[in-house]
Structure 1
Amino acid sequence: MINFKRTLLPAALGLLLAGSSCKKALDINQDPNNPAIGQGTPTIVFPAAVMSTAGRVGGDMAILGGIWAQYWTQSATANQYKYIDAYNVKSADFNGGYTELFAGALNDYQFVIGKANEQRNWKYLLMATVMKAYTYQVLVDLYDQVPYSEAFRGTANLQPKFDDGYSIYKSLLAEIDTALARDYHTGEFDTRDQQADIVFGGDMDRWEEFANTQKLKMYLRMVNKKPAEAQAGIEALYTAGARFLSTDAAIKSFVNQPDKSNPFYEYNVRSLNVSTNLRASRTLLTYLQANADTRRPVYYAGNNGLDQGDYGTTSSAGQNASVVNQSATDPVYFISAAESFFMQAEARERYFAGAGAKARYDQGVLAAFDQHDLDGTAFVNGAYAYPTAGTLDQKIEAISTQKWISFFGSHALEGFFEKNRTGYPRTSAVYSDNPAYVPGQFVVSRNAVTNNQLPKRLVFPDVERTRNRNTPAEVPITTPVWWAL
Structure 2
Amino acid sequence: MKNILRKTQVLAFSTLLIVTSCKKLDINESPNNPPVESATVETLFPSAVISTVSRTGGDLSIIGGLWAQFWTQNSNSSQFRTVDSYDVQATSNFINGPYSELFAGALTDYQLGISKSVAAQDWRYNLMNTVMKAYTYEVLVDLFDKVPYSEALKAGGNLQPKFDDGYTIYTSLIAEINAALAKDYKTAPLTDAQIKTDFVFGKKGTSADVMASWEKFANTLKLKMYLRMVNAKPAEAQAGILKLYQDGAKFLDEDAKVDIFIDVPNKSNPFYEYNFRRLNTPDNLKASVTFTSWLKKNQDPRAEVYFGEADPISINQGDYLGAAAHPEYNNAVNVVVNATDAVPLISKEESYFMQAEARLRYFGGAGAKDLYDAGVLAAFAKLGLNGATLLATTYAYPASADVNVNLEAIIVQKWASLFGSHALEAFFEQNRTGYPKTSAVYSTDAGYIPGQLVYTPNGVTGAGNFPRRFVYPDFEKSRNSNTPAQVPIYTKVWWGK
What per-residue deviation string (whole Å, max 9, x for no partner) do you get for residues 139-191 of structure 1? Answer: 00000000000001254521100000000001000000000000111111112
Partner residue, 2:495: 483
1:285-334 CA-to-partner distances (Å, cap 9, x unmatched) read: 00000001010011113421111000001221123212111110111000
User: Does 2:307 match 1:308?
Assistant: no
Instruction: Call closer, same or farther: CA 1:268–1:227 in 2, change over 3 Å.
Output: same
The match for 1:18 is: none
Where 1:279 maps in the other structure, the secondary structure is strand
Inter-partner Cα distance in structure 2 for 1:379 and 1:176:
38
1:400 equivalenced with 2:411 (yes/no): yes
- Paired position in structure 1 for 2:133: 132
> What's the counterpart of residue 459 of structure 1?
471
Give, in whole Å, the separation in 2 of the partners of 1:278 and 1:441. Answer: 19
In 2, Cα distance between equivalents of 1:14 and 1:476: 37
The unaligned stretches of length 5 or more in structure 1 are: 1-7, 16-24, 31-35
With normalisation by structure 1, the TM-score equals: 0.93
Deviation of the 1:274 alpha carbon? 2.7
Are residue 60 (structure 1) and residue 59 (structure 2) matched? yes
Contact 1:11 1:254 in 2 (8 A): no
Q: What amino acid maps onto 1:333 in structure 2?
A: P
Name which of 248, 261, 282 aligns with 1:254.
Answer: 261
Gaps of 5+ in 2: 13-20, 27-34
Cα-to-partner distance string for 1:370-391 (whole Å, 9 max, x where unaligned): 2211111112111110001341
**Would the alpha carbon gap of residues 432 and 10 (structure 1) be closer, same or farther in structure 2, given more than 3 Å must change?**
farther
Whether 2:344 is the aligned partner of 1:344: answer: no
Is 1:92 matched with 2:91? yes
Counterpart residue number, 1:422: 433
Aligned residues of 2:22 and 2:101 also touching (Cα < 8 A): no
Alpha-carbon deviation of 1:445? 1.0
- CA distance in 1 between partners of 2:241 and 2:454 (Å): 33
Partner of 1:33: none
Larger mean CA deviation between 47-56 and 274-283 belongs to: 274-283
What pairs with 1:356-375 in structure 2 (closer than 5 Å)? 356-375=367-386
Q: Which moved more, 1:107-116 or 1:319-328?
A: 319-328
Q: Does 1:72 align with 2:39?
A: no
Deviations 1:187-224 (A, max 9, x none): 11112210111101150000000000000000000000
User: Equivalent residue for 1:46?
Assistant: 45
C-alpha distance in structure 1 between counterparts of 2:376 and 2:317, whole Å = 26
Matched residue of 1:286: which SS? helix
User: For the residues of structure 2 that align with 1:131 and 1:64, how far apart are their CA atoms?
Assistant: 22
> Does the C-alpha gap of structure 1 residues 10 and 209 become closer, same or farther in structure 2, counting only changes over 3 Å?
farther
List aligned pairs for 1:140-289, cutoff 5 A: 140-201=141-202, 202=207, 203-289=210-296
Cα separation, partners in 2 of 1:72 and 1:170, compared to 1, 3 Å = same
Q: Report what 1:107 is aligned to.
A: 108
Residue in 2 that maps onto 1:4: none
> How many pairs align?
466
2-structure distance, mates of 1:108, 1:249: 20
Provide the secondary structure at the position in 2 that maps to 1:91: coil
Task: Return the alpha-carbon distance in structure 2 between the equivalents of residues 71 and 177 of structure 1.
Answer: 36
CA displacement, residues 452-478 of structure 1 (integer Å, 9 cap, x when unaligned): 111000000122112211111100001
CA RMSD of aligned residues (A): 2.1
Compute the TM-score of the two structures, normalised by the length of structure 2: 0.91
SS of the equivalent of 1:131 reads: helix
Residue aligning to 1:119: 120
Q: What is the one-letter code of the residue matched to 2:475?
A: V
Distance in 1 separating the partners of 2:160 and 2:472: 15
**2:94 paired with 1:83:** no
Alignment of 1:29-44 (within 5 A): 38-44=37-43
Cα pair distance change 1:367/1:29, threshold 3 Å: farther
Cα distance in 1, alignment partners of residues 42 and 24 from structure 2: 15
1:20 paired residue number: none
Check conservation: 1:10, 1:255, Cα contact below 8 A: no
* DSSP 3-state at the match of 2:479: coil
Q: Is the 8 A contact 1:9 1:260 kept in 2?
A: no
